[in-house]
Structure 1
Amino acid sequence: MSEFFDGLETRSADQRDAEQMAALARQVAHAQAHSAAFGEILRGVDAAAVTSRAALARLPVTRKSELLERQKAQRSTDAFGGFAAVVRGPKMQRIFASPGPIYEPEGTARDYWRTGRALFAAGFRSGHLVHNAFSYHMTPGAFILEAGALAVGCTVFPAGTGQTEQQLQAMVELRPDAYTGTPSFLRILLEKAVETGTDIRSLQRASVGGEACPPSLTAWFREQGVEVFQTYATADLGLVAYETASRQGLVLDEGVIVEIVRPGTGDPVPEGEVGELVVTTLNPDYPLIRFGTGDLSAVLPGSCPTGRTAPRIKGWMGRADQTTKVRGMFVHPGQVADVARRFPEVGRARLVVSGEMANDRMCLRVETAGGSDGLRSAIEAAVRDVTKLRADVELVAPGSLPNDGKVIEDARSYQ
């Protein structure tokens, strides 16, 4: 695809990095001044000095669970828990509720969630009619994609969810060019159309999200005449990454700064290693700094063959929260990282929990170039100190552990 949504997509890596780091320092200062929560979280941070990824990595990670707890604690005074930088009135168009409930504000910026970029890459164009099958009830999903479609110049039919027969009737009579919604509901619509002999061949492309869409399902959609592209966006952050015609990973949005960190920590991992996506948004209305998504992914080498120069990620690769209960006690990925940090000669670590119900066994596998019985014994003692549980320790060569983002592997039998 030789067309781009705007000039930001083809910036050089150096230009993008310089402009994003300058914007980062301004965003940190803005968050400190206008978001009560980040005024507290970032207390003592010199915003003017946060002009590099190394400086960003020294800031604390705020995870969704922490955001929810702050919101719950302040329900009577501030439904947003101090995270919003705008107040009700002309600068806040809507309030949404995600499961939790977590409340999110919508500001007045055109294409507030920035999904126009993703839809343009998926081939949505001015004059297209978009059948929007995301829910218009409480949650922002429908509005996130609707705003992007309007920014591209599309017309939107607010179909919402359910009522398959009525939706097919509308598609026959309105002849939409494109679909936004979950891949599972798109499949239901297409299968029902085949079953009933309904002609919805006007539908040629789709932007899907909210669920995994594996290559096998994308291929099935193509067989039905619909080119499907994945859009990775959240209610908190807006667009994070999007698929292009190259089908080689997801390109990062221009309005976010993304890090991949070791699960349970805020420590960035080397390029290519799987870890948790941590996102800093440059949205002034909801300035989330180092927001832990809880999703696993990895950075791909090189840039997109379409000419977009932003980094790419592999896409959604699972969840980072691998907290596991062992012998009645919770063990967290952060505890595994804490053990590993105590030993400079240790690289990656993976705690394997095995055994049958009520007979749990733990084995911590650690990568090290030069192991010894003394190191093994010291690590075993550290595990007991940190988790209050006993574990065997296995020393393995660097690069031996799978690159799948797992810090805790639950291999127990529950039969």
Structure 2
Amino acid sequence: MSFFDMLETRSADERAADLAKTLPEQIARAKSTAGYAKLLDGVDPAAVNSAEALAALPVLRKSELSRAQAANPPFGGFTVKPATGFGHIFQSPGPIYEPGGVDGDWWRMGRFLNAAGIGQGDVVQNCFGYHLTPAGMIFENGARAVGAAVLPAGTGQTELQVTAARDVGATAYAGTPDYLKVILDKADAMGVELMFSKAAVGGGALFPSLRQEYADRGISCLQCYATADLGNIAYESPAMEGLITDEHVIVEIVTPGTGNPVAPGEVGEVVVTTLNPDYPLIRFATGDLSAVMPGVSPCGRTNTRIKGWMGRADQTTKIKGMFVRPEQVAALVEKHDEIVKARVIASRDGEMDAMTVQIEAADGDEAAFSRSVIEVLKLKGKVEVVAPGTLPKDGLVIEDQRTYD
């Protein structure tokens, strides 16, 4: 199977050298927008020439983007071009508005479709939505980039989906992982034989049993990790060992509620910087958890791999009637130089909520830690000081152990 382009097989040194040129240019573009003018005030774009330098910049969260859009619609001042300069304007739940381009592989989905074996000669039945939200156009744009024809099917009307797939000879499916099974089962009930041999899925969990069911039907199914704001972030190759980071994004894994990168291999929140010149999102927090995998993919693609979706980073939990947020746990850690890491555990003591704060520290004043817990978390709780390296490396900073059976 051929690569999409030569970027996929660059050495680490080549990728770093290219980033040293393209990242400062992107930071400069971002600084030119009204949205980033304040966030990046005082930042010298020329100095942000590596992933390590990028880590010093502030994180942008979707809640902040939403507030900015409400004040300055539709894009909150975070795009280089005005709304009229884009091919599409989308609305996702929130509402959040996203721009979309029609030139080139704007969302970078062609790289994933190529890895899935989709290209010229294929007809893609695109079952992602086309109404308001961008997923349908994201995959259509990618299909155009690899030379495949598209049946813009959207969702629903399963009998018509089966009939159309048969009549046009659809060879590839694009959509959520489970909807393909709905189509296949309906085709079986109708006595219709379909020609699907490839599937490119996203937007939901691809369970191993479902992938195997498709394989048993002769359909190779691969998944990607993409969002409406960022486009394609990472994707599977036929090696099916983790998700390979796209060549035009920078992925960081940070401690939830902070912008601080975790140690390699640890679970944390996915933060993404895009190199899209029209919409330069810098350190955009996805709210998803993942972890970096060591080594490179056996398929020959050399970029960093992540393990895929491992849960949500927004672990906000109500304890004793008060919300405790990951940002507060991060503030607790930052308040004391001795603290390496902290974890809040919500539990039950009889019919009452209880809170335990586990603190990794080689030394320190436990009483001072307790006072800071009250000051920062606004709640009293038991404080346990444990040795550095003791707490699990699972990305959780707030663990809810309560059951109400």
Output the TM-score relative to the length of structure 2: 0.96
Residue in 2 aligned with 1:216?
Answer: 209
* Cα distance per residue 1:362-410 (max 9 Å; x no partner): 1112334x35xx6333222211110121111223344332322111011
The Cα shift of 1:218 comes to 1.4
Asked if 1 retains the 8 angstrom alpha-carbon contact of 2:74 and 2:83, the reply is no
SS in structure 2 of the partner of residue 318 of structure 1:
coil
Q: Does 1:79 align with 2:74?
A: yes
Residue in 1 aligned with 2:305?
Answer: 312
Which residue identity lines up with residue 17 of structure 1 in the other structure? A
Residue in 2 aligned with 1:164?
Answer: 158
* Cα distance per residue 1:92-149 (max 9 Å; x no partner): 1111111111111113431110100000001112111100000110111000001101
2:235 to 233, 239, 242: 242
Q: How does 1:11-410 map to 2 (within 5 A)?
A: 11-33=10-32, 35-74=33-72, 78-89=73-84, 91-200=85-194, 202-355=195-348, 359-368=352-361, 370-371=362-363, 375-410=365-400
The Cα shift of 1:262 comes to 0.3
Q: Which 10-residue stretch deviates more, 95-104 or 377-386?
A: 377-386
Asked if 2 retains the 8 angstrom alpha-carbon contact of 1:357 and 1:414, the reply is no
The Cα shift of 1:186 comes to 1.0
SS in structure 2 of the partner of residue 183 of structure 1:
coil
The Cα shift of 1:192 comes to 1.9
Asked if 2 retains the 8 angstrom alpha-carbon contact of 1:129 and 1:156, the reply is yes
Partners of 2:144 and 2:50 lie apart in 1 by: 35
Partners of 1:287 and 1:232 lie apart in 2 by: 19
The Cα shift of 1:326 comes to 1.3
Asked if 2 retains the 8 angstrom alpha-carbon contact of 1:356 and 1:413, the reply is no
Partners of 1:44 and 1:109 lie apart in 2 by: 33
The Cα shift of 1:188 comes to 1.0
The unaligned stretches of length 5 or more in structure 2 are none
Partners of 1:313 and 1:96 lie apart in 2 by: 28
Partners of 1:331 and 1:309 lie apart in 2 by: 40
SS in structure 2 of the partner of residue 315 of structure 1:
coil
Asked if 2 retains the 8 angstrom alpha-carbon contact of 1:261 and 1:268, the reply is yes
SS in structure 2 of the partner of residue 62 of structure 1:
coil
Asked if 1 retains the 8 angstrom alpha-carbon contact of 2:19 and 2:50, the reply is no
The Cα shift of 1:324 comes to 1.0
The Cα shift of 1:345 comes to 3.5
The Cα shift of 1:193 comes to 2.2
Partners of 1:145 and 1:107 lie apart in 2 by: 12
Partners of 1:138 and 1:167 lie apart in 2 by: 21
Partners of 2:390 and 2:187 lie apart in 1 by: 49
What is the percent sequence identity of the aligned residues? Answer: 54
Output the TM-score relative to the length of structure 1: 0.94
Asked if 2 retains the 8 angstrom alpha-carbon contact of 1:20 and 1:257, the reply is no
* Cα distance per residue 1:127-183 (max 9 Å; x no partner): 111000001101110000011011001000001100000000111212211000001
Q: How many residues align?
A: 405
Partners of 1:379 and 1:391 lie apart in 2 by: 11
Partners of 2:210 and 2:384 lie apart in 1 by: 40
The unaligned stretches of length 5 or more in structure 1 are none
- Residue 141 to residue 356, structure 1, CA distance change in 2 (3 Å): farther
